Amino acid sequence: MKRLLFVASFGVSLLGTRIFAQDAPDAVLRVPEAEASSEKEMKSYSEKIEHSQAKIDMIPIPGGTFKMGSPDSEQNRLADEGPVHEVTVAPFWMAKTEITWDAYDVWMSDLDVFYREVNKVKATVRDDLADEFQKSQPTKPYTDMTFGMGKQGYPAICMTQHAARTYCKWLSRKTGRYYRLPTEAEWEYACRAGTTTTYSFGDDSAELENYAWFADNAGEGYHKVGLKKPNPWGLHDMHGNVAEWVLDQHIPEGYPLDLRKVNPLLVPKTLYPRVVRGGGWDKAAELCRSASREGSTEDWIAQDPQSPVSIWYLTDALHVGFRVVRPLNEPTEEEKNTFWEYSEPIQKERPVPLER
């Protein structure tokens, strides 16, 4: 197995505003509710994506310590869910729901760029900074990536982890606030929301239908976000609907014994498998448990018609989406590049002619 990096490091920022080109005027889109210099000051806020109707509602998650993984006694437990280990995470904001097509399409299809061009709206400093991760990224999809299951208000799906990471970089520059995928520890901590039971609502899977879309009640596809009951911290769809990318590498044998205990991250050093969490609309109840994990596989691109296959889209991962987090204490640029945004192998797009 290739060497894996185990990381625990966050930097400190002033009101969460140390971001790309921080010395440029107007590099941060002002949202008063989003400003906090301590956990006590953190509030819920809505991140509106400029030049669009899309927004991302963010919920404050307090820092704390919890027991990650499932005990041997938990019903339907799998080997990769252990051993149970104590983990501490720093405070962060997390998206209230999965990222919807409304918010994802602004980036994927350059909708904000088209809006500016058609309406002759001058680009902001933030627009200019975001362009590096915007125009021609990603390449045009080769089919309807919703697969007919619905778009407005529905969770975005079928993106690679690379695409989800790139979206976070674009969103960070678009807003001036640092966004990324959650670590696996942050995700489970937020999902459990202070609970120690099989699900965030208890141990009885018969109650799952009130909190999740899964194989027993979803029908033929995913559903609009936020329709089921939230967990105790106000997060919707942490169980079911679509599984969610996290930053970590997946090890089928379970958690490494030497994994760091404070803000841990298993930096990915191979393309497969990487972790998604939460189950999905087509998964059984036991795969939607708080501790349940799934590793990505090459089967998720089995029907990709391109050669080489796309680094942006997954033809066969109709149950996979993501949500974003924003740490209270923003890491330094070095920390981002070395740890929180680092992965191998480096993903490179094949040469394609620009359509615009």
Residue from 228, 241, 182 nearest 58 by CA: 182
In the structure, what pLDDT confidence band is assigned to residue 322 with cuts at 50, 70 and 90? Answer: very high
Is the confidence at residue 1, as pLDDT, over 70?
Answer: no
Please report the DSSP string for 47-113 in residue order. Answer: EE-TTSS-EEEEEEE--EEEEES--TTSTT--GGG-S-EEEEE--EEEESSPPBHHHHHHHHTTHHH
In the structure, what pLDDT confidence band is assigned to residue 260 with cuts at 50, 70 and 90? Answer: confident
Q: Are 316 and 301 in contact (CB under 8 A)?
A: yes
| Residue 306 pLDDT | 82
Q: Give how far Cα 120 sits from Cα of 26, 134, 174, 323, 349, Å.
A: 20, 18, 18, 32, 31
Q: How many CA atoms lie within 13 A of 200 on its CB side?
A: 27
Q: In whole angstroms, give the CA distance from residue 139 to residue 313.
A: 9
Average pLDDT over residues 238-266: 95
Is the confidence at residue 204, as pLDDT, over 60?
Answer: yes
Residue from 4, 73, 79 nearest 253 by CA: 79
Residue from 139, 175, 151 nearest 20 by CA: 175
Mean per-residue pLDDT of the chain: 91
Is the confidence at residue 8, as pLDDT, over 70?
Answer: no
Is the confidence at residue 49, as pLDDT, over 90?
Answer: yes
Give the whole-number percent of the chain exceeding pLDDT 70.
91
Q: Are 289 and 265 in contact (CB under 8 A)?
A: no
| Residue 182 pLDDT | 98
Is the confidence at residue 2, as pLDDT, over 90?
Answer: no
Question: What is the CATH code of the structural domain delimited by 5-340?
Answer: 3.90.1580.10
| Residue 17 pLDDT | 40
Average pLDDT over residues 303-323: 93
Give the whole-number percent of the chain exceeding pLDDT 90.
84
Is the confidence at residue 135, as pLDDT, over 80?
Answer: no
- Straight-line distance from the first to the last Cα atom of the chain, in angstroms, rounded to the nearest whole number: 43
In the structure, what pLDDT confidence band is assigned to residue 339 with cuts at 50, 70 and 90? Answer: very high
| Residue 22 pLDDT | 47
Three-state SS for 349?
A: coil
Average pLDDT over residues 221-233: 98
In the structure, what pLDDT confidence band is assigned to residue 136 with cuts at 50, 70 and 90? Answer: low
Q: In whole angstroms, give the CA distance from residue 10 to residue 63.
A: 13
| Residue 167 pLDDT | 97
Query: How buried is residue 178: exposed, middle or buried, by Cβ count under 10 Å (0-12/13-18/19+)?
Result: buried
The total number of residues shown for the chain amounts to 356
Average pLDDT over residues 186-192: 98
What confidence tens digit (pLDDT) does each residue in 56-80 have? 999 999 999 999 999 999 999 999 9
Query: How buried is residue 259: exposed, middle or buried, by Cβ count under 10 Å (0-12/13-18/19+)?
Result: buried
Q: How many CA atoms lie within 13 A of 255 on its CB side?
A: 25
Is the confidence at residue 11, as pLDDT, over 50?
Answer: no
Q: In whole angstroms, give the CA distance from residue 17 to residue 176.
A: 7
| Residue 142 pLDDT | 83
In the structure, what pLDDT confidence band is assigned to residue 351 with cuts at 50, 70 and 90? Answer: low
Is the confidence at residue 310, as pLDDT, over 70?
Answer: yes
Please report the DSSP string for 115-160 in residue order. Answer: HHHHHTPPPPHHHHHHGGGTTT-SPPPSS-TTTTS--TTSBP--B-
In the structure, what pLDDT confidence band is assigned to residue 193 with cuts at 50, 70 and 90? Answer: very high
In one letter, which amino acid is 113?
A: V
In the structure, what pLDDT confidence band is assigned to residue 288 with cuts at 50, 70 and 90? Answer: very high
Is the confidence at residue 100, as pLDDT, over 50?
Answer: yes
Is the confidence at residue 150, as pLDDT, over 90?
Answer: yes
Is the confidence at residue 20, as pLDDT, over 90?
Answer: no
Tokens of 72: 């041997």
Three-state SS for 307?
A: coil
| Residue 16 pLDDT | 40
The residues facing 44 across adjacent strands are none
In the structure, what pLDDT confidence band is assigned to residue 3 with cuts at 50, 70 and 90? Answer: very low
Where in the chain are the domains?
A: 5-340
In one letter, which amino acid is 291?
A: A
Question: 23: Cβ–Cβ under 8 A, 6 or more apart, which residues?
Answer: none
Tokens of 122: 């001058």
Other Cβ atoms less than 10 A from the Cβ of 62: the count is 15
What confidence tens digit (pLDDT) does each residue in 118-127 have? 999 999 999 9
